[in-house]
A and B are shown apart, each in its own frame.
Chain A
Amino acid sequence: MARIQEVIESLPSLFRPEKAKGWNRVILFDLGGEEPSKWTLTIENGTAKVEEGQTKPPKLTILGNSEYVVQMFTGETPPMKLVNAKLLKMQGPMMDAIAFSGLWNIPKK
C-alpha cells in the first residue's frame, strides 16, 4: 500500500483546477491510524500546495486514519463511501465537504 506522504504529495498532480473555480480554501488532514500525521493543503487561485504539519488555520479538517486517506486518493474506496461509513470525518462548512470530493482526478479501480 502507498504511504501517506506519497499520497498527500501527489495531490497537486491529482488536483483539477477547472473544478475549483472561485474556491480558495485551507484544508487540514489530521490523521491517526498507521501513520499519524498532519498535512496542510492550500487551494488558491487554481493551484494546490501541500505542507507537512498544520501551517495555517483550516476551514475544513479531514479526520480519520491515514490508510483511509490513502484508499480515497488511490481510488480503492470512493470518498463518500468512507464518509458514510464514518471512517473519515469532514469538519467544517458542509458545502466545503461536498466541494472537496469533486476536485480530484482519482484513478478508477
Chain B
Amino acid sequence: MYYDEFHNHKWARNLKYARELLNQKRFSAFYHGEDLADGDVYPGMRVMAAYWTSVEHEMKLRRITLLRGAGHLEWEQDPELLAQVESFHARYIDDMRALVARDGSVAPERIDRLQVAGWETPADWAEVMRARQAASLEALENDLLPADVAEGWFDSCLRSVANYNRYLIWGGVNAAALVRREGPDALRKAVDAMAESFMWEISKEFFATVLPAAGFEDIGDLMELGLRGMYADQYYTKGEDREVGEKTIRTSILKNCELAGIYRRVEQWTGLPPFSLGYGICRFDEVHGQATMMITMPPMVSPDYRLLKSLAMHPDATQCVFELTTTPADDMERILMVQEKVFGSVD
C-alpha cells in the first residue's frame, strides 16, 4: 500500500460494507445508510456520492486557490509537477485496485474501466446523480434495487474518490514545489493571502452550487449530509461539551485525515521534511469550517470555530481537534451577511 489505509482509504471500508448490504438484499440501508455498532456510520450511497462529488469540487478549488495565492498559475502546465502528479496518483489508483480486490467490493477491472473512461467530473454528473436517486427511491418503494442502479452508485463513488484524490495530490505537489522553490514562508504567504476569499468561494461552491445540483437543497437534506457525509472518509467522534459562563464549547475529534495522509506522502516523495506542507491544508480547513458554522448556526448564537490540534501540522498530534464556541447573541446580521455573500440577494 503506497498510502496509509487508515488516513486515505476509509472509502474502501464503506464500499465493502455497501457490497455486504447489497448481498444481503438490505437495499434501503445500502442507499440511506445506517449507524454501526462500533460508533462509526455507514453514510449510504446517496450521501457518499454527493459528499465525494462535493469534495472533488473542493479539491479543484483548493488547488487553483493556492496557485493564485502563490502567483504561479503557470505551474498548471509545469512538466515536472505534472509528472509528479501522474506518478503519485497512479500509486493511489494501485491502492484502490488492491483494496477492492481484497475486500470484494467490486472487481479490480472496474477500476481499469473507470480509468479508461476518465477520472474527470463528467459535465452531466448532476443529472446522472439525480436520475439515479429517483430510480433508487422508486425501486426502494418495492424493497428492490436494480443491479445497474446499484453498480452505478459504486462507479460514481469510485470515480469521485479517485478524482478528488487526484486534485488533492496535485494541490500537494504544488505546495511542495512552492516550498522547494521559494521556501516555507512562500507557502504560508500564499495561503494567508487567499484564506478569506477561499472561505466564501468554497461555501458558494458547496451550498449554492454543488449540493443543490446533487439534490441536497432542503435544510433537512443538508443537515443529514453535514451529520453523516464526513463518515465517508473520516473516523469522527464527538468530544466533550462544556459550559464556560454563557458560552457553550463543543469539540470535534477527527482520528484520521485524508489530506494529511496525502500531503505526508507528497512530503516524503519530494524530499521535504514531515509537516512542512501542513499549513497548506489546515488554514483552509479552518476557514472552511468557520464559514460552515456561520452558515448553519441559528441567529440566537454567535459561533467561533478553531482548529486546536492537527495531524498535518503538529508532530505530537494523534488526531485533529476542532472547537466550536457558541455565545448567545442576536446575530441576524450574520445571517443576512452570509445570505448575501454565499447565496446572493433574496429580495
Contact = CB atoms under 8 A, between A and B. Distances in A.
A4 to B, nearest CB: 21
Contacts of A90: 218-220
B332 A19 contact: yes
A102 B329 CA distance: 11
A95 B338 contact: yes
A98 B332 contact: no
Contacts of A59: 346
B299 interface: yes
A54 interface: no
Contact of A20 (B217, B297, B332, B339): B332
Contact of A89 (B218, B300, B336, B338): B218
Interface string B216-235: 01111011100100000000
Contacts of A91: 217-218
Nearest to A86: B220
B112 interface: no
Interface residues of A, number: 27
B335 A23 contact: yes
Nearest to A100: B298
A102 B298 contact: yes
Given A18-B330, A21-B332, A98 B223 contact: no
A6 B186 CA distance: 63
A96 interface: yes
A99 B335 contact: yes
A24 to B, nearest CB: 8
B120 to A, nearest CB: 29
Contacts of A102: 298-300, 332
Contact of A99 (B220, B332, B342): B332
A92 B223 CA distance: 15
Interface string A16-34: 0011111110000000000
Interface string A72-109: 00000000100111101111011111110111000000
The winner among A83, A91, A94, A99 for most chain B CB atoms within 10 A is A94
A99 B298 contact: yes
Interface in B293-347: 295-300, 330, 332-333, 335-336, 338-339, 342-343, 346-347
Contacts of B17: none
Contacts of A88: 220
19 contacts: A19-B299, A21-B330, A22-B333, A59-B346, A80-B223, A84-B224, A89-B220, A90-B219, A91-B218, A93-B339, A94-B295, A94-B343, A95-B295, A95-B336, A95-B346, A98-B296, A98-B299, A102-B298, A103-B299
State the 8 A-B residue pairs at the shortest beta-carbon distance, nearest first.
Answer: A102-B298, A97-B219, A95-B339, A102-B299, A102-B300, A83-B220, A99-B335, A101-B298
